[in-house]
Every structure is written in structure tokens, then in C-alpha cells.
């Protein structure tokens, strides 16, 4: 007996997504760069020529390899205590990506839950939640994060908590707006008439249909988290030395700005490239997930 495969002509959701995503060349470049950074971060000990905190006292502020007097064993030069900058950047990628993942997870989970409740139940609960979000949004995010870290104590964990807290109102607002649009649609009413309970309606019926804008916002929040954490590190309120976090590395190198440009340039470049790659991906995701753009 032979089997017959029938092609339905309907591409899978993933294939459709890739079709729209790959039309944006910038997004594909962003994805490739991001994957490279991810691989380098995961296999940091394989790629890094030295350990991040290894001090080479005989080569303080060594110039990058391509400059006169540079050494190939320190490709991007060394910092003020003789640590290899490339190795610290490679290990630093771990921190930045970890910060992004933790902050996005925390703010998405809290933001989506609160937004779902506000949008689904409406009324006084909604008003109370939205006023609370207005209060958080009334402060500049970095200032609130800075003050929160002052309350909780400087450090990477507290910085991540603070950034998550100031980030989540965006998810609350976005989820609420999507839920309000979706809950009046016929498929939700049909599901309710068929006897679906509140939880099923909220999480299984409505939420999956609100995911598009949330994924795009999560991508943007990922890059914003990396920038905010680096800014807190730069102000001395994030990760503490000798952690090879990129913002903290910049803060440590500030005083050598006039005589060793490389100690300042490369950590910032690493932040810029990572954030740029993620934002490029975000643009592509928006193209792929926004039904309004698909039609045009």
C-alpha cells in the first residue's frame, strides 16, 4: 500500500512567519549577529583567550594588537590592571543576555497577568491598576530604577528587579488594550456561551490572540533592559567590580579616557552592537507579526 501526501497549500505558521521576517534584510542580519553573540556567550571559556579577572601586571593598558606595540595575545588591549579586554567582553556578553532574559521574563509575566486582569474584568479593578501604572510611568524610568536600587542596595540582582519593575507598565498597557479589543469578539463570546470558565477564557482563548504585539514589545524591552542595566552599572549602581559587565567596565575605564581610548571604546561598542542587533530583529518581528503591515 502506498501513502499519499496531500499538500494543503497552507504554509505552516512558522513558514509564514519566516517568509515575512526574512523579507526584512536588516532583521536577518540582526538575527545572525544575535545568534553569534549568544554562541560566544554560552561558550565563553572556549572563545576567550584569558579568564575575565586574570591580571597581567606587566602589561597595564596595553594597546590593541593592530597598533604599534600591541600583542596578539591581547587582541583588544588590556585595562588598567592588565586584564584582557576581549576576554572580559566575551564573558560580559553572558551578563548582558542574562539580564535581558531575566528582566523580560519578570516584566512579561507580571505585566501580562496584571494586564489580563485589568482588561478582562474592567471596572474598578481596571481603574485601580491603570492609575498605579500611571504613577510608575510618571517617573523617568532610569531615575526610578536608580532610586529603587538605592533602596534595595547596589548589585546586579537588585538592578534587574528595579528594571523589571519600571518596564512592566508597558506590558500591562499593551496586554490590557489587546484584551479589551479581543474580549468582545465573536469567538470569545462563542467560547463563553459554550461554557468556558474565566481562566480558560483569559489564558487559552484571549491571550494567544494578543501575543503578536507582546512579542515585539518583549524584544524592545530586551534591548532596553541591556541599556538600562549598563547605565546603572555605569553609574555604579548595577553590577559591582570586578564583574565584567559592560556598563561597569565603562565606569571603571572612565578615568583613562584621555590616554587609553580602547578601554572606553570596546565595551560601549559591544553594548551598541548587541542592542542594535536586537532592535533590528524587533523591526523584523513587527513586520512579520503585525497583520496590518502584512496586507500592505
Report the interface residues with another protein, using CB under 8 A: 26, 131-132, 134-135, 137-143, 146-147, 150-151, 153, 223, 227, 230-231, 234-237, 247, 250, 254, 257-258, 261, 264-265, 267-268, 271-272, 275-276, 279-280, 283, 296
Residue given cell 467560547 in the structure block: 191
Round to whole Å and give the CA distance between 177 and 173. Answer: 6
If we measure between CA atoms, which residue out of 258, 234, 237, 254 comes closest to residue 246? Answer: 234
Q: How far is the CB of 253 from another protein (least distance, A)?
A: 9
What is the nearest approach in angstroms of another protein to the Cβ of residue 286? 11
The nearest distance, CB 43 to another protein, in angstroms, is 25
Nearer CB in complex with another protein: 142/201 = 142
Tell me the three state secondary structure of residue 78. strand
Q: Report the half-sphere exposure of 83 (CA within 13 A, side-chain side).
A: 21
SS3 label, residue 43: coil
**What does residue 41 show for φ and ψ, rounded to 5 degrees?**
-65, -45
CB 91 within 8 A of CB 44: yes
Phi, psi of 263 (to 5 degrees): -70, -25
Residues β-bridged to residue 84: 78
Name the DSSP letter for residue 69: T
Q: Least CB distance from residue 261 to another protein, whole Å?
A: 5
Is the bond preceding 242 in cis, omega lying within 30 degrees of 0? yes
> Is 50 or 173 the residue whose CB approaches another protein more closely?
173
Nearer to another protein, 113 or 144 (CB): 144
CB of 268 to another protein, least distance (A): 3
Nearer to another protein, 185 or 254 (CB): 254
Minimum CB distance to another protein, residue 156 (Å): 17
Helix (H) or strand (E) holding 205, with range, is none
Task: Kindly tell me which of 125 and 190 has the beta carbon lying closer to another protein.
Answer: 125
| Residue 205 or 282 with smaller CB distance to another protein | 282
Could you tell me how far CA 69 lies from the centroid of its own chain?
Answer: 38
Tell me phi and psi for residue 84, to 5 degrees: -70, 120
List phi, psi (to 5°) of 76.
-105, 20
| Least CB distance to another protein at residue 7 (A) | 34
**Which three-class secondary structure state does DSSP give residue 259?**
coil
Q: Which is nearer to another protein, 20 or 246 (CB)?
A: 246
Closest distance of CB 135 from another protein, Å: 4
Cβ-Cβ contacts under 8 Å for 164 (sequence gap 6 or more): 102, 103, 106, 107, 110, 225
Amino acid at each position: 500500500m502506498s501513502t499519499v501526501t496531500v499538500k494543503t497549500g497552507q504554509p505552516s505558521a512558522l513558514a509564514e512567519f519566516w517568509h515575512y521576517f526574512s523579507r526584512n534584510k536588516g532583521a536577518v542580519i540582526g538575527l545572525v549577529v544575535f545568534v553569534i553573540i549568544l554562541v560566544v556567550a554560552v561558550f565563553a571559556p572556549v572563545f576567550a583567550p584569558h579568564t575575565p579577572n586574570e591580571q597581567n601586571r606587566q602589561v597595564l593598558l596595553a594597546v590593541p594588537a593592530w597598533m604599534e606595540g600591541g600583542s596578539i595575545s591581547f587582541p583588544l588591549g588590556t585595562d588598567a590592571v592588565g586584564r584582557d579586554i576581549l576576554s572580559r567582553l566575551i564573558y560580559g556578553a553572558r551578563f548582558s543576555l542574562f539580564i535581558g532574559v531575566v528582566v523580560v521574563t519578570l516584566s512579561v509575566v507580571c505585566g501580562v497577568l496584571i494586564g489580563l486582569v485589568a482588561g478582562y474584568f474592567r471596572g474598578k479593578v481596571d481603574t485601580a491598576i491603570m492609575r498605579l501604572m500611571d504613577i510608575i510611568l510618571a517617573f523617568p524610568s532610569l531615575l526610578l530604577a536608580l532610586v529603587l536600587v538605592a533602596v534595595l542596595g547596589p548589585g546586579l540582582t537588585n538592578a534587574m528587579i528595579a528594571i523589571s519593575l519600571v518596564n512592566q507598565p508597558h506590558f500591562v498597557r499593551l496586554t490590557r488594550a489587546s484584551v479589551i479589543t479581543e474580549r468582545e469578539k465573536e469567538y470569545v463570546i462563542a467560547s463563553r456561551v459554550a461554557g468556558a470558565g474565566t481562566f480558560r477564557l483569559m489564558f487559552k482563548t484571549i491571550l494567544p490572540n494578543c501575543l503578536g504585539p507582546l512579542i515585539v514589545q518583549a524584544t524592545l524591552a530586551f534591548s532596553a533592559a541591556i541599556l538600562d542595566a549598563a547605565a546603572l552599572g555605569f553609574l555604579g549602581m548595577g553590577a559591582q567590580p570586578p564583574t565584567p559587565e559592560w556598563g561597569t567596565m565603562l565606569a571603571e575605564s572612565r578615568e583613562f579616557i584621555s590616554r587609553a581610548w580602547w578601554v572606553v571604546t570596546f565595551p560601549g561598542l559591544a553594548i551598541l552592537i548587541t542592542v542594535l542587533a536586537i532592535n533590528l530583529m524587533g523591526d523584523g518581528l513587527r513586520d512579520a507579526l503585525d497583520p496590518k503591515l502584512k496586507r500592505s
